[in-house]
Amino acid sequence: MGALSTTLSACVNHCRNLLFPPACVFCRTPLATDSSICDSCAADIRIWPHHHCMHCGRVMPEHLSPGPCGSCLRRPPPQSVTHSLYLYRDGPVRNAILDWKLQGSDAGVLWLLDRATPRLNNIFDPQSLLLPVPMPLSRMRHAGRHHAADLCRAISNRTGAAFDWQLLRRTGEQQRQSSLNGRARWKNLCKAFSVDSDHLPAIQQGDGIQVWVVDDIMTTGATMHYACRTLRRAGITAGAFSLTRLAGRD
């Protein structure tokens, strides 16, 4: 019976591959095996360097200690620590983010998270509380989903961390950050966030809870700065985490 079951399973898989040939989740190139990514995309994915300033996340020369960097010594950021998983650039990582945001396909993003699960478990644990960067209400209605909240949920499923999408709130409507240059991005968000006081009692950081602000892309760092500053003014120390980060825009 076992041999028959194995044979049937092999036949089903063969028929499935004939009807729906396996393809790379990033570039859709047909694959000869059941692998989910082609060799070209695999070679083009860059991990955010491990040797970075622990406060702001900027990459540091390997001969220096991991932090704080000179900038953080002069002006410490409001976040306690910063982590990113991947370098955001043209190629599979950018394609995954765009497919997720514009086409509603999360296959590439989930692949990136699955690949990084060991690192995620080094950063987060069940004592972590994830706060998604809030979207303006009109933009969330237009998108039909809250991408940062979906990212928090996916991380929670892999690490056991809790998440709360109501504590950190968006105040008013701002221009899209992607349409602005560096200085304008900072000005655009200086009053963009608030804390819902009804959710504050649930956070007892004295009991070991580590709060994290979570976003998909970190560019200038303005969003994380003002979100974490808002939390700090409410008595909450938070770390910053992004799935991807653009180099050289700080």
Which has the higher per-residue pLDDT, 181 or 242?
Answer: 242
CA angle 24, 243, 95 (to 5 degrees): 35
Residue 204 has pLDDT above 70, yes or no: no
- Tell me the two tokens of residue 249: 């825009």
Look up residue 180 and give its DSSP letter: S
Q: With residue 11 as reference, give the H or E element that holds it.
A: helix 2-19
pLDDT in tens, 214-241: 999 999 899 999 999 999 999 999 999 9
- State which of 12-16, 85-89, 244-248 shows the largest mean pLDDT: 85-89
The CA-based diameter of the chain, rounded to the nearest angstrom, is 71
Tell me the fold of 46-245: Rossmann fold (3.40.50)
pLDDT in tens, 2-30: 555 555 555 545 455 555 678 999 999 99
Answer whether 0.95 is exceeded by the pTM.
no
Range(s) of the chain covered by CATH 3.40.50: 46-245
Q: Percentage of the chain surpassing pLDDT 90?
A: 59
Q: What angle do helix axes 147-159 and 107-115 make, rounded to 10 degrees? A: 40
Strand partners, 84: 242
